[in-house]
Structure 1
Amino acid sequence: MITYAESIQKPDAPIFQRVCPLPLDLCVSHIEDRLQARDFRVHEVYGRNGDSVVDTQSRDSKAIVPRHDEELAFFIFEAVQQYFEQHFLVQPSDSLVLAQHEFFAYTPGIGLKMHADDHVLRSDGSVLTRDVQRGITAILYLNSDFDGGEIHFPKQGLELRPNAGALVIFPSNRNFPHEVKPIVRGQRYSYQRIYGILNGETKRFEVASTICVPS
């Protein structure tokens, strides 16, 4: 079954890129202060059987509670709203709801295995778990002084080298699997905000009950 967010996505939705003109220094300072204070959680990535992945190169990115920046958050929301209206079959009463937001720090040797942001798959390709409240992912890159850390979208044939101020937006579903190449030098900082798409008629982040996709 597919989510409401996925059922109203246009099949040719691209990966959207925009440059953020706002200063990011305070975000970087906040991340580095939290890292020094060891005030973070280890971001676990789940394997195909649902168990935590033990490989430290795929699970040791550090998730940090974001520093509140209303202007920055509004910039990202406006960009996601534009993407939503252009690349989804939006009903007038549909709306975006923030489902998750965190800063992430990737240190040398750390990457992220291939995944999609709204689900975990079993080895046969069927869905093990799905977060229906995740519809569109936005990632703002906060620094440039590192090597490695490229984000790779194999289905779209796209690999991006993140630079400070680059905002990348894409659907969170299985059609946009991606990975992060391991960091070679320095530390890579990013701000991730994931939005759910609220069905205006039912007021739910529902799974479409009449549309099936092959596993």
Structure 2
Amino acid sequence: MITYAESIQRPDAAIFQGYCHLPLDRCVAHIEERLTANDYRTHEVYGSRGESIVNKDSRDSKAITPKHDEDLAFYMYEAVLGYFNQNFAAQPSDSLVLAQHEFFAYPRGVGLKMHSDDHALSADGKVLARDEHRGITAILYLNSEFTGGQINFPKQDVSIEPTAGKLVIFPSNKNFRHEVRPILSGWRYSYQRIYGVLKTDGKNVGFA
């Protein structure tokens, strides 16, 4: 049965900020190549029945399928695993399962309204749909040649200035609602990986 564990909902969990020293040039080159080829999609949000829809009032960034980079994927996995073990009631049998990974390109004028990564909200604040496979979000910023685009967590009173190599990790749930301020100039590139937590008790397997 798929359920949310109480531990993953902790409102006082930290927002991790670190720095990745791996080269990011290949990621940037891949994004710009895909943008030039018009090989991207406008990012979807969930509709009232859980269907995936395009809603430019909520998000108008460009979503791009990543080119696999084993070193980068391993670095981000290890960082998220360390974050999970430090902040939540992890058991030896728990494991992280990749639920989503994409590159995002934000052009000038585009931001992202207040949201949580595991569910979408209607205009009046009601939950439209929840993805229970999403538990922890990791965002790696890939470039610095832009202005604006800060990620803001109002409940935690945290605003983060994105620069190339900065890694931010936080729970995907409603306690960590956030927004992306509009880009003022240039393009902002990022790599997002969202993990679910696979929990086993010897008999049952489910996501937390």
Common fold: TM-score over 0.5: yes
Over 3 Å counting, the alpha-carbon distance change for 1:128 and 1:47 in structure 2 is closer
Superposition RMSD in Å: 2.0
Instruction: Give the residue type in structure 2 aligned to 1:60.
Output: D
Instruction: Work out the CA distance in 2 between the residues paired with 1:127 and 1:54.
Output: 18
Query: Which 10-residue stretch deviates more, 121-130 or 13-22?
Result: 121-130
Distance 2:54 2:62 in 1: 15
Give the corresponding residue for 1:205: 207
Mark the runs of 5 or more structure 1 residues left unpaired by the alignment. 207-215
* Residue in structure 2 matched with residue 174 of structure 1 by the alignment: 174
Which segment is superposed worse, 89-98 or 39-48? 39-48
Task: Calculate percent identity across the aligned residue pairs.
Answer: 66
User: Which 5+ residue runs of structure 2 have no aligned equivalent?
Assistant: none
1:49 deviation in Å? 9.7
CA distance in 1, matches of 2:37, 2:107: 16
Q: Deviations over 1:68-92 (max 9, x none)?
A: 1000000000000000000011111
| CA distance 1:3–1:111, shift in 2 (3 Å) | farther
CA–CA separation in structure 2 for the residues paired with 1:30 and 1:181: 24
Q: Given the alignment of the two structures, is residue 196 of structure 1 paired with residue 196 of structure 2, yes or no?
A: yes
CA distance in 2, matches of 1:34, 1:114: 27
* 1:1-215 mapped onto 2 (5 Å cutoff): 3-5=3-5, 7-9=6-8, 10-45=10-45, 52-55=54-57, 58-122=58-122, 125-201=125-201, 202-205=204-207
SS at match of 2:169: strand
Tell me how far apart the structure 1 counterparts of residues 155 and 124 of structure 2 sit (CA, whole Å): 19
Richer in strand (by share): 2
Cα distance, 1:125 vs structure 2:
4.3
Number of residue pairs matched? 202
**Deviation at 1:127?**
2.8
Larger CA deviation: 122-131 vs 18-27 = 122-131
Give the residue type in structure 2 aligned to 1:108. Answer: R
Q: Secondary structure at the match of 2:60?
A: coil
